């Protein structure tokens, strides 16, 4: 029987308080077994949980017990921290004194394990209080490790960020001001926690640069490089969460913003550890030097984190003074297109919003009509509009759909005439959405109108170049069988373009080439459209008749009807709603036909002049 078991047995026989009796025993370091540690842990924790903290404090402070405290004291952290988190416990002063003594006495390795374990929580309120309590002690322990702290710091920061990710994000000014979710306090605590390590890495970098100047080619010390690498990983993770997910408030909205201050500190930390913010933001266009350390570039510089960095710089202007003015607005736009494309390709509303904001801010600095057509050979200049179409048509949030349309128009305005021409062709080919196609066709009409103004002629929106574009505009996707309701936006804008050309362009001048092309347009667009209108009207009139008959004949038996249009069933609705929908469709066909008739009248008149 070990000495610990014997003490435990004697205490039971004497009916003494087992926990209090045991914890007063001091034994040599080399005699502690696993069983000894287990018994000590149970005894010590029981004493604290039963309110004997004052007695435990006197034992822990006793000089003859420092050996056992140094080796096993960290096991007392769980009950101590529980008392400290409660704050109002009568044993709080004693427990705080024990806690501070353990931080000074216990071995750093065991303290780190104990503190890491106590960081893990699921309840947001407990998470915030735990981080506020433990970050400072954790910092002290890490600093005591000297040059061997890098990997432990990395694990600590990773654990803290995992906890931070469990906290809800403030969405309104009031939520951030009142810090209702405690995220702001945690971010401030985290900034204070990481500051001395950033300063150490900064000094290491400065010293390394001095050594390089004195002794060319001298390699960096491993420990110094690992510290910098762990801090870089931390900054990159922070840029992704929480900074990419939270919406920062501008100074005009919130004068003092803890989250904006936190973002600023992260960017300053990146600069302090030797990372050039311009190089990070412009990484898609600038060849970076080989990444030092053991991380591959994709891991060390996650694209989402770099996109978040670009958003902070160009939208919120954080640390913008560090960016040299030599970079032109077009260069910045080209670089940011990679970041914008990544953000707009996501489904999370926070990322989509930041993608739209970054795209808009990058575009407004560019002069109208200055982007050349060769930029459309760069992949992001084609994939970004595709993602914009998805935002405008699929995103459930109306504000983002509306903003997406605004940004699309802004991007069109920045292209020169050739680029606009190529862009319109590309969008008509790839958008696959009637509303978007209709919007593009409306822009084509506007460009033709500009080209026809005196002194504004250009080769792209009149004459030979315009005709291929007009053939794409004045066409039906499926000929006479095209679903006119589904493609209504596109069809109406196409008819408006045709009507405009017939009115605006004189037969004798034929600047747009419309009059030499008109016979083809009649065969490929107008006649098939008229056939489609007649077929659709006949179909819907039959459905209207059947619906009204069903209503009259079976109203009492089946008050809710199901009507098929084509191969699809309309949603279940009352007969009145069905009849109203069918009447609306018939009205649409009448509207299309009236425009067709007007165009035919205009062409006939002009050809006879």
**Domain edges within the chain:** 467-552+572-608
Are 19 and 42 within 8 A, CB to CB?
yes
| Percent of the chain clearing pLDDT 90 (strictly above) | 70
pLDDT at 549: 85
pLDDT at 552: 78
Q: 560 pLDDT band (50/70/90 cuts)?
A: low
In angstroms, the CA 484 to CA 465 distance is 29
Kind and range of the H or E run holding 281? helix 277-281
In angstroms, the CA 114 to CA 159 distance is 13
Helix, strand, coil shares, percent, the chain, to 5: 70, 0, 25
**Residue 242: cis peptide before it, omega within 30 degrees of 0:** yes
Ramachandran class of 248: left when φ > 0, alpha when ψ lies in -120 to 50, beta otherwise = beta
Q: For the residues 278-304, what does the mean pLDDT come to?
A: 67
In angstroms, the CA 532 to CA 519 distance is 19
**CA-CA-CA-CA dihedral for 277, 280, 284, 285, to nearest 10:** 40
pLDDT at 565: 53
Tokens coding 596: 């067709």
In angstroms, the CA 329 to CA 362 distance is 7
The candidate with the shortest Cα–Cα distance to 497, out of 512, 507, 486, is 512
The candidate with the shortest Cα–Cα distance to 159, out of 192, 118, 199, is 118
Are 447 and 461 within 8 A, CB to CB?
yes
Whether the per-residue pLDDT at 510 is higher than 60: the answer is: yes
582-588 long-range Cβ contacts below 8 angstroms, 24+ apart = 582/540, 582/543, 582/544, 582/547, 583/544, 585/485, 585/536, 585/540, 586/537, 586/540, 586/541, 586/544, 588/484, 588/485, 588/488
Of the given ranges (194-203, 208-217, 408-417), which has the lowest mean pLDDT? 208-217
Alpha-carbon dihedral sign for residues 242, 245, 250, 253: negative
Q: 297 pLDDT band (50/70/90 cuts)?
A: low
Are 487 and 591 within 8 A, CB to CB?
no
The candidate with the shortest Cα–Cα distance to 543, out of 559, 562, 558, 560, is 562
Q: For the residues 313-322, what does the mean pLDDT come to?
A: 91
Of the given ranges (427-436, 451-460, 592-601), which has the lowest mean pLDDT? 451-460
In angstroms, the CA 354 to CA 117 distance is 36
In angstroms, the CA 331 to CA 336 distance is 9
Higher pLDDT, 122 or 187: 187
Are 476 and 528 within 8 A, CB to CB?
yes
Are 97 and 138 within 8 A, CB to CB?
no
Whether the per-residue pLDDT at 291 is higher than 70: the answer is: no
Kind and range of the H or E run holding 565? strand 564-565
pLDDT at 43: 84
Whether the per-residue pLDDT at 290 is higher than 80: the answer is: no
Q: 179 pLDDT band (50/70/90 cuts)?
A: very high
pLDDT tens sequence across 484-502: 999 999 999 999 999 999 9
Read off φ and ψ for residue 564, nearest 5 degrees: -100, 135
Q: 298 pLDDT band (50/70/90 cuts)?
A: low
- Complete DSSP assignment for 394-437: H-S-HHHHHHHHHHHHHHHHHB-HHHHHHHHHHHHHH---HHHH
Are 448 and 512 within 8 A, CB to CB?
yes
Whether the per-residue pLDDT at 285 is higher than 90: the answer is: no
Whether the per-residue pLDDT at 111 is higher than 50: the answer is: yes
In angstroms, the CA 22 to CA 37 distance is 12
Whether the per-residue pLDDT at 311 is higher than 70: the answer is: yes
Are 69 and 81 within 8 A, CB to CB?
no
In angstroms, the CA 204 to CA 443 distance is 57
3-state SS assignment for residue 561: strand
Mean pLDDT of the chain: 87
- List b or e across 223-234, with b for residues whose CB sees 16 or more CB atoms inside 10 angstroms: ebbbbbbbbbbb
Look at the chain and count its residues: 609
pLDDT at 558: 52
Whether the per-residue pLDDT at 13 is higher than 50: the answer is: no
Q: For the residues 72-88, what does the mean pLDDT come to?
A: 90
- List b or e across 53-65, with b for residues whose CB sees 16 or more CB atoms inside 10 angstroms: bebbbebbeeeeb
The candidate with the shortest Cα–Cα distance to 99, out of 62, 64, 74, is 74
In angstroms, the CA 78 to CA 113 distance is 11
Whether the per-residue pLDDT at 209 is higher than 90: the answer is: no
Give the orientation angle of helix 380-394 with respect to helix 417-430, to 10 degrees: 50
pLDDT at 372: 97
pLDDT at 563: 53
Whether the per-residue pLDDT at 156 is higher than 90: the answer is: yes
Whether the per-residue pLDDT at 6 is higher than 50: the answer is: no
pLDDT at 564: 56
- Complete DSSP assignment for 471-536: HHHS--TTGGGS-TTTTHHHHHHHHHHHHHHHHHS-TTT-SSSHHHHHHHHIIIIIHHHHHHHHHH
């Amino acid at each position: 029987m070990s000495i610990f078991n014997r003490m435990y047995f004697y205490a039971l026989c004497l009916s003494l308080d087992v926990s209090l009796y045991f914890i007063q025993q001091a034994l040599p370091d080399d005699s502690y077994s696993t069983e000894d540690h287990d018994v000590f842990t149970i005894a010590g924790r029981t004493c604290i949980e039963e309110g004997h903290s004052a007695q435990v404090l006197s034992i822990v402070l006793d000089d003859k017990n420092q050996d056992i405290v140094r080796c096993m004291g960290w096991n007392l952290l769980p009950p101590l921290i529980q008392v400290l988190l409660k704050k109002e416990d009568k044993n709080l002063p004693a427990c705080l004194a024990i806690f501070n003594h353990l931080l000074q006495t216990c071995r750093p390795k065991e303290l780190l394990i104990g503190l890491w374990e106590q960081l893990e929580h699921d309840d947001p309120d407990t998470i915030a209080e735990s981080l506020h309590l433990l970050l400072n002690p954790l910092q002290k322990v890490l600093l005591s490790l000297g040059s061997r702290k890098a990997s432990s710091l990395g694990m600590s920061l990773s654990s803290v960020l995992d906890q931070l990710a469990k906290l809800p994000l403030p969405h309104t000014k009031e939520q951030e001001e009142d810090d209702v979710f405690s995220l702001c306090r945690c971010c401030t605590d985290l900034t204070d926690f990481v500051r001395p390590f950033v300063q150490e890495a900064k000094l290491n970098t400065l010293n390394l640069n001095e050594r390089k100047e004195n002794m060319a080619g001298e390699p960096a010390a491993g420990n110094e490089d690992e510290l910098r690498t762990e801090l870089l990983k931390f900054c990159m993770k922070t840029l992704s969460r929480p900074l990419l997910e939270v919406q920062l408030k501008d100074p005009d909205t919130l004068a003092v913003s803890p989250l904006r201050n936190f973002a600023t500190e992260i960017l300053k930390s990146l600069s302090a550890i030797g990372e050039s913010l311009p190089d990070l933001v412009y990484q898609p266009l600038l060849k970076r030097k080989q990444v030092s350390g053991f991380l591959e570039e994709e891991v060390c510089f996650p694209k989402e984190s770099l996109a978040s960095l670009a958003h902070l710089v160009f939208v919120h202007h954080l640390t913008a003074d560090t960016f040299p003015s030599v970079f032109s607005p077009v260069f910045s736009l080209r670089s940011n297109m990679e970041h914008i494309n990544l953000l707009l390709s996501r489904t999370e509303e926070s990322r989509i919003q930041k993608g739209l904001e970054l795209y808009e801010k990058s575009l407004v600095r560019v002069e109208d009509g200055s982007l050349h057509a060769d930029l459309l050979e760069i992949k992001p200049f084609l994939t970004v509009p595709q993602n914009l179409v998805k935002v405008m048509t699929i995103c459930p949030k109306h504000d983002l759909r509306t903003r997406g349309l605004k940004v699309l128009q802004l991007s069109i305005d920045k292209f020169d005439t050739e680029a606009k021409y190529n862009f319109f062709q590309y969008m008509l080919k790839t958008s696959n959405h009637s509303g978007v196609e209709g919007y593009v066709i409306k822009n084509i009409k506007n460009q033709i109108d500009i080209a026809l103004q005196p002194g504004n002629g250009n080769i792209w929106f009149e004459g030979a170049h315009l005709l291929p574009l007009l053939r794409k505009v004045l066409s039906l996707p499926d000929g006479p069988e095209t679903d006119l309701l589904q493609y209504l936006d596109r069809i109406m804008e196409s008819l408006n373009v045709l009507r405009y050309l017939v009115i605006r362009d004189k037969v004798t001048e034929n600047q747009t080439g419309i009059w030499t092309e008109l016979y083809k347009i009649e065969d490929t667009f107008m006649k098939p459209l008229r056939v489609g209108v007649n077929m659709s009207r006949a179909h819907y009139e039959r459905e209207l008749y059947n619906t009204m008959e069903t209503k009259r004949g079976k109203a009492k038996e089946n008050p809710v009807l199901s009507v098929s249009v084509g191969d699809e069933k309309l949603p279940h609705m009352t007969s009145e709603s069905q009849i109203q929908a069918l009447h609306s469709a018939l009205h649409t066909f009448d509207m299309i036909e009236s425009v067709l008739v007007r165009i035919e009248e205009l062409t006939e008149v002009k050809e006879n002049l």
